Amino acid sequence: MGRNATANWLQVSTRQIDNISKALNIDWGGDHVAKANSARAEQLQSAKLELADKFRKIASLELDSVLKTDCTTPGERRDQIMIAAISSDKFLKLTESTGAPQEVAGQADAMAALDRFMYATKAAVHGSPDNPNDH
């Protein structure tokens, strides 16, 4: 366990751990801390990519549903499109923050396509002209 985990486990403050460690010549720094931090960073990146993939799947499923279903109401379609838009945005932000450029290649094109899709759908539902500048 690290210093913080030890303090939590013993239900004492990290300051108390530091004082006792100093008295016993225990070093909480060093190579093992760097390795643990690196492992945690890799786990976090993996978790972010897994979450990003779930958002990507949600966006895809919602957009597919809007395109394939004729029996939904305009309100339901709007909700599905909003879910897809939010999911797409979260996907892009998570993949950008993980430094995974291969995962987000063409993201500007993907967002532009999503914008065009949203406005075209809005126009079709409301019978208004398709104008992406009307936001």
- For residue 49, name the pLDDT band (cuts at 50, 70, 90): confident
Residue with tokens 């993201």: 107
Q: Which residue has the higher pLDDT, 127 or 13?
A: 13
CA atoms of 135 and 126, how far apart (whole Å): 14
Chain segment 50-100, per-residue pLDDT in tens = 888 888 888 888 888 888 766 678 888 888 888 888 888 888 888 877 665
Domain map of the chain by residue range? 3-126
- For residue 134, name the pLDDT band (cuts at 50, 70, 90): very low
Whether 43 contacts 36, CB under 8 Å: no
Q: What is the mean pLDDT of residues 25-33?
A: 73
CA atoms of 9 and 135, how far apart (whole Å): 53
Structure tokens given for 118:
């949203």
Residue 44 has pLDDT above 50, yes or no: yes
